[in-house]
Amino acid sequence: MPVLLIAEDDEDIALVLTRVFKRAKMTVLRAEDGQAALDLIVQEHPDVIVTDLGMPRMDGWELITAVRAHPDVSLTPIVILSGHLRPGDPRAGSAQCCAILLKPCPNDQLLATVQELLDIGPHEHDSSDSPCPAEMPVSV
Ligand SMILES: [Zn+2]
CA–centroid distance, 130 to ligand 1, in Å, is 10
- Asked if residues 38 and 67 have their Cβ atoms less than 8 Å apart, the reply is yes
Q: Give me the pLDDT at residue 86, please.
A: 79
| Tens-digit pLDDT profile for residues 40-77 | 999 999 999 999 999 999 999 999 999 999 999 999 99
Q: Which CATH number characterizes residue 39's domain?
A: 3.40.50.2300
C-alpha closest to that of 77 among 22, 121, 32, 29: 121
CA–centroid distance, 52 to ligand 1, in Å, is 16
d(C-alpha 75, C-alpha 42), whole Å: 12
| Tens-digit pLDDT profile for residues 1-24 | 999 999 999 999 999 999 999 999
| Tens-digit pLDDT profile for residues 105-120 | 999 999 999 999 999 9
Task: Name 29's bridge partners.
Answer: 5
CA–centroid distance, 75 to ligand 1, in Å, is 8
Q: Which structural domain, as residue segments, surrounds residue 103?
A: 3-120
Overall domain count for the chain: 1
- Is residue 127 in some structural domain? no
- Is residue 133 in some structural domain? no
Maximal CA-CA distance, the chain: 36
Average pLDDT over residues 91-114: 90
| Tens-digit pLDDT profile for residues 121-136 | 999 987 666 668 776 6
- Is residue 126 in some structural domain? no
